[in-house]
Each structure stands twice: as C-alpha cells, then as structure tokens.
A and B are shown apart, each in its own frame.
Chain A
Amino acid sequence: MKRSNKPIFWSLFGAGGMLAALVGPMLVLITGLLIPLGLLLPTGTMSYDRMCAFAQNAFGKAALVVVISLFLFHGCHRLYHCLHDVGVHVGPGVKAIFHGFAIAGTVTAIILVGAIGWAG
C-alpha cells in the first residue's frame, strides 16, 4: 500500500502552528511595529549591518529558515483547507501547489541564507 504523505505535512503544520503560537505575536510586534516606529526598540535594531551579522552565523541562519519555513507550511496547509470551507472543492493537484509553495519558500530561504555567507 502506498504510504500517505499526510503525517509529514500535518507535522509541519503542527510545528509551524506551535512556533507561531509561542513567538508569532511577539515577532510581528517587534519586526512590524516596535522597530519601524522606534517604540521601546530603536529603528537601528534592524539595521543592515546588524541583520547581516545576525544572518552570518549558524544560529541566525537557522532561526530565519525555521521561522519562514514553518510559518509557510502552517499557513499554506490551513489555507488549502480553507478553500474547502468556502466552497471551493479542489483535488490533490491544488494541494500539491499549496505544499509546493511552502517547499519553494523554504528552498529560497535556504539559498538566501547561504548566499549571505559567514562572518569573518
């Protein structure tokens, strides 16, 4: 019998959902509101030099890829199921497009953190 790929994508959905629930609101608050507005945190917190330094070490690279990738897997999986809820009944092809989008985003993020290189 052919194995279902459901456990893989459900695990990624679950991991993304957990990460988004634990730190999602604070991440949006920090990167989208506090730093752009300079409230509590100076706008220079996300300066080019500091973000380069962050993306040039293993922890920063892993954090960027994990957040972007898991948020995408969580969001795309749920969006796909939303289609059914709003009366759009689609087949496995469209499901593959949604999961493929998350995979493409993950691959792009990995290539980008690779392109940024390492400190020193």
Chain B
Amino acid sequence: MTQRTYVRPTAGWWRRNGHYRAYMLREASSVFVTAYALVLLVGLARLAQGRAPFEAWRAALATPWALAFHVVALGFFVCHAWTWFAVMPKTLPFIRMRGRRVPDEALVAAGACAAVAASLLLFLAVWWTRP
C-alpha cells in the first residue's frame, strides 16, 4: 500500500518575485547550452560522414529557425556568463593577495574581463584565418 503524504504545492513558485524569475532564467540557460552542444555534435557527425552531409548541415544553420534558435541561445549564453561571474565570489574559496582578501567586486570584474578577452581572442583567431 502506498502512503499518501501531503506534498506542498509548488507549481509556479518562480513567478512570485523577481529573484526567483532571474534564478529560473539562469537555470533555463542549461537547455540552450545542452542544445548548442548537440548542434555542434551533429555538425561533427556530418563532417565525419562526408562533404554532402556536412554541406546539408551548414545549409540547415542558415535557415530562419536555426538563426532564431542561435539568437535566443546567444541571449541565454550571455545570461549564463554574467550570472556565472556574479556568483564567483560565493563559489570560489577566498583568494588572498598581499595578505588581504580579494574583494568580491574585483573577482567579478576579473571574471568578466577574462571573458571579454577570451572572446576577443577567439574572434580574432577566426578573423585572421578567414578564407
């Protein structure tokens, strides 16, 4: 016999305030991170299959649905990146420099700067080697 226990209803709890909504928005980024990884994995599979399948995959990337997906994914990736660095002071152990604890704001700023620098480097690497 199954025990019928009371389960507090939690449906729609994230709609209650802005902090909850922001939290759910951040967690929702995982859908797009996973989906983007699968887009790349399918591209890699098509590449291994040969020229025609890979060209078909590239053509699929230029369709309106694929472009719309990447626009939304870009938004969620930026949301992920920003929130990732914003919580870094809480997820990292205390870092000390010259006997003082590095302040939270400096840590967040360093993370954001590293992301901007890495992104610029990545873009320039593709830009310089473009056909």
Chains A and B come from one and the same complex: yes
Count of chain A residues with a beta carbon within 8 Å of a chain B beta carbon: 56
A20 to B84, CA, bound (A): 9
A28 to B66, CA, bound (A): 11
Decide: B47 and A48 in contact? CB cutoff 8 A. Answer: yes
Decide: B30 and A51 in contact? CB cutoff 8 A. Answer: no
Count of chain B residues with a beta carbon within 8 Å of a chain A beta carbon: 54
A12 within 8 A of B: no
Decide: A26 and B114 in contact? CB cutoff 8 A. Answer: no
A24 to B118, CA, bound (A): 10
User: Could you list which residues of chain A lie within 8 angstroms of chain B, going by C-beta atoms?
Assistant: 14, 16-18, 20-33, 35-37, 40-48, 50-52, 55, 64, 67-68, 71-72, 74-79, 81-82, 85, 87, 105, 108-109, 112-113, 115-116
Give residues 14-50 of B contacting A (CB, 8 Å): 14, 24, 27-41, 44-45, 47-48
